[in-house]
Structure 1
Amino acid sequence: MALVIHEDTAADAAQIGGKQPVLAILTVDDDTQLFRGNRSNFADIISTGRESGFIVYVLTVKKLKLNRKTLDGFTFEAASENWVQRKFPFPDLIYNRIPLREDELQPEVRRKIAACMKHPGVQIFNPKFFNKWSLFKWLRQSKTTKPYIPETRRMLTVSGLGKMMLQHKFLYLKPVSGKAGKGIMTIQLQPEKPLPYRLKIQGNKGSTTYNCGSIGKLWTRIKKESSGERYIAQQGIQLAALNERSFDLRTLVQKNRRGQWDISGIGARLAGSMSITTHVPRGGSVEDPEKLLVSVFGQDEANKLLNKTRTTALIIARQIERGSGRSLAEMSLDLGIDQDGNIWFFEANAKPMKFDEPDIRQRSLERIFQYSSYLIKMKGH
């Protein structure tokens, strides 16, 4: 894909801006391909923004100069299918889509985001990735969200893990900064077996199983596999399953044109036959949530569960925002329903991936600009 540089003058760019609202999609530089991130997603956001009357462009942290009126950014020209560099007006809103935690943790990136948050002329969406441990801490602080949280502890010592195994025969081990199911393990205690501790480790497609004779041996193996990453241990939930494949619900929650949390859609992910997670890259599949729930619980119960999922997702999103102490714009939530129809919270992502369901996808793009318009209107008051 070629890069074309257009040297628009700053004056032209400012004029193009006029009174149009401006949103910049923030990412980081990349030596080989200009900037990092999901290009097709960025192109979709730019085109939806145009339809909503916005100027939208991709902006890298390096090119974000807080004291300038115009900035160098990238836009996608559909006709030539090229990303082109142009001068753009300084943004009213910055939508953080820096794709990787390690990029976001770079000192210069952290400094720039902190400066944006202090800057009176800038509103920034989704200041940073969530940390799993913080999420559970925030959700435990409220009586309304606490019941949805499986028991979760930091995995620090072999004795701590032993205590947890006394209470729960099945545990999930998850990296604190994990993404897309990477590094997840499960432990199952089968006391009647000669090697009672069964450790399963999620690989790229399938999983590897180790059977250990003692908790000491189990701990050694876990430490080796976790290679120094920080982990949490979590009570294992026996999720509702179809043909022995468990499933969970992915709920997209975004702020709407009134500035309130709203459900943009619910999708379902069915685990791959050899996988311990439902993530599609690891063999999971995209399914219709209602069909799955009906096949397990029947129509009436499925309707109740879908409504309950919507209400629960909104309660959780509000509490995460409260706990984070920041204004957030969107998040996706992984919720599970166990065999008795109870809802459980597993994960929230501050930078939701593209949903595969076309209707959810379309709504998710439109909501970005509906909420942006709300923010700009509020700022004008």
Structure 2
Amino acid sequence: MSADSLHENSSTPKIGILTVGDRSDQFQGNRSNFIDLIRIGQSYGAKVYVITAEDLNLSNSRIHAFCYDFQNEAWFRQWMPMPQVIYNRIPYRHQEMQLEVQQKIHACTKNKHLYLFNPGFFNKWSLYKWLSESNETNDYIPTTQQLTTSSEIESLIKLFPIIYLKPVRGKAGKGIMRVERKSLYPMAPLYKLTIQDQTKSQHSMHTSMTTLWKKIQKYQKKQEYIIQQGIDLACNKERPYDLRALIQKNSKGEWSVTGIGARLAGASSITTHVPRGGSIEDPEKMLSQTFGNELAQSILKQMKSTALFIAKHIEKTAGQLLGEMSMDLGIDKSGKTWFFEANSKPMKFDEPHIRKKSLERIIRYSLFLAKKNKKKR
């Protein structure tokens, strides 16, 4: 053990960023993000370090952690005290779902001497069930069903001209499909299927539900999907856009909107995701150009209160300790707010002012939990 960790001030708050190891005896995850958190932690008087699920043993009072040397721009291993607060940033769902990892996360959530927040990825179907079963949040949810047979597609496409098929455990828009009803005649149906692949979209026309379903099943494989009403989103330059909100807990442990960004769909994309041709835009500018300044301000205000309300409801229904989530919200052409998705492991926001505030809030919320932990002891 180094002199630094031996003489670590016992009153210094200690925050662990949880991830998983890799084959080179290091760790996985967004390293630049971790370095930023360590730097912000230092400025707030906290010790922040990276820990892996493999090294986590709650029966020990210390852990072999990864620390960062800013002078030499290098990671190094060091024995550190067990953190009081753990921020879960395991990058992939399949890693988090491993039995040993699940057991350790569960043990952390039950441990009286530490707080672990954001214990797991959200499941899209669970989210829609939680929100649609409440009268207070149901109004923001597009009609959504589990996809099991072609009959769900058949019934929903009769009600809505466009429907979306989304993987329950999807990320960044991968695997999303869109079905458009092109003909209203029962004797001569025509459907257009668009499948969003890694970087491009593939299109096919179908004159029967049978051929459409075969094509969907071929792509779907064994993945679980939901099927959802398509919303006629507000547009700019004849392209739809939606809004992405970052909601985090602040230094008092209360939910607050950190920032909202707008994403304009790419020319040939069925979603607004940036890796698929979408662009980052200013939300006030987008809304003002669509609805005028006064109504745009009213929509933004309403959207923030809606996002906060939904975040509180998700945390309460999930029965988990959460510290942040990103939320995809849509505004239709009448100005109504719709909820599309929430992510418990938000990707980095590209807007610098949101990015800076988001890092500070993670640390400040962690300090709030560390203080709470101290009182509890």
TM-score bracket for this pair, using the shorter chain length? over 0.9
Instruction: State the match for 1:79 in structure 2.
Output: 71
Runs in 1 of length 4+ with deviation above 4 angstroms? 192-195
Q: Deviations over 1:286-312 (max 9, x none)?
A: 111011111111111110111011001
Written as runs of structure 1 = structure 2, the 5 A alignment for 1:69-218 is 69-191=61-183, 196-218=190-212
Distance in 1, Cα, partners of 2:171 & 2:69:
31
- Cα shift at 1:17: 3.9
RMSD of aligned residue pairs (Cα, Å): 1.3
Counterpart amino acid of residue 285 in structure 2: K
Asked if the contact 2:113–2:373 (Cα under 8 Å) also holds between the matched residues in 1, the reply is no
Instruction: State the match for 1:3 in structure 2.
Output: none
Matched residue pairs, number? 373
- Cα shift at 1:316: 0.5
Q: Deviations over 1:110-135 (max 9, x none)?
A: 11111111111121010000000000
Instruction: State the match for 1:351 in structure 2.
Output: 345
Q: Secondary structure at the match of 2:54?
A: helix
Distance in 2, Cα, partners of 1:270 & 1:253:
21
Distance in 2, Cα, partners of 1:81 & 1:374:
29
Asked if the contact 1:13–1:70 (Cα under 8 Å) also holds between the matched residues in 2, the reply is no
Written as runs of structure 1 = structure 2, the 5 A alignment for 1:1-381 is 7-8=1-2, 13-32=5-24, 34-191=26-183, 196-381=190-375
- Cα shift at 1:377: 2.5
* Of 188-197 and 111-120, the range deviating more from structure 2: 188-197
- Cα shift at 1:195: 5.9
Counterpart amino acid of residue 293 in structure 2: Q
Distance in 1, Cα, partners of 2:277 & 2:297:
28
Distance in 2, Cα, partners of 1:118 & 1:265:
32
TM-score, normalised by the number of residues in structure 1 = 0.95
Q: Deviations over 1:13-60 (max 9, x none)?
A: 243142101000000011137111001001001110111111100001
Asked if the contact 1:142–1:319 (Cα under 8 Å) also holds between the matched residues in 2, the reply is no
Counterpart amino acid of residue 266 in structure 1: I
Asked if the contact 1:183–1:203 (Cα under 8 Å) also holds between the matched residues in 2, the reply is yes
- Cα shift at 1:173: 0.2
| Residue ranges of structure 2 left out of the alignment (5+ in a row) | none
Distance in 1, Cα, partners of 2:373 & 2:54:
27
- Cα shift at 1:81: 1.4
Q: Secondary structure at the match of 1:35?
A: coil
| Residue ranges of structure 1 left out of the alignment (5+ in a row) | 1-6
Counterpart amino acid of residue 27 in structure 2: F
Distance in 2, Cα, partners of 1:304 & 1:70:
51
Distance in 2, Cα, partners of 1:300 & 1:62:
53
* Of 365-374 and 44-53, the range deviating more from structure 2: 365-374
Asked if the contact 1:116–1:123 (Cα under 8 Å) also holds between the matched residues in 2, the reply is yes
TM-score, normalised by the number of residues in structure 2 = 0.96
Counterpart amino acid of residue 245 in structure 2: T
Q: 1:346 to 1:33 in 2, by over 3 A?
A: farther
Counterpart amino acid of residue 249 in structure 2: K
Distance in 2, Cα, partners of 1:40 & 1:13:
23
Q: 1:14 to 1:126 in 2, by over 3 A?
A: farther
Asked if the contact 1:17–1:89 (Cα under 8 Å) also holds between the matched residues in 2, the reply is no
Q: 1:112 to 1:214 in 2, by over 3 A?
A: same
Distance in 2, Cα, partners of 1:216 & 1:248:
33
Distance in 2, Cα, partners of 1:349 & 1:192:
36
Q: Secondary structure at the match of 2:313?
A: helix
Q: Deviations over 1:206-257 (max 9, x none)?
A: 3111111111111111000111101000000011111121111110000111
Q: Secondary structure at the match of 1:67?
A: coil
Asked if the contact 1:270–1:285 (Cα under 8 Å) also holds between the matched residues in 2, the reply is yes
Counterpart amino acid of residue 233 in structure 1: I
Q: Secondary structure at the match of 1:63?
A: coil
Counterpart amino acid of residue 279 in structure 1: H
Distance in 2, Cα, partners of 1:66 & 1:374:
22
Instruction: State the match for 1:4 in structure 2.
Output: none
Counterpart amino acid of residue 167 in structure 1: L
Asked if the contact 2:115–2:373 (Cα under 8 Å) also holds between the matched residues in 1, the reply is no
Counterpart amino acid of residue 128 in structure 2: F
Distance in 1, Cα, partners of 2:358 & 2:25:
26
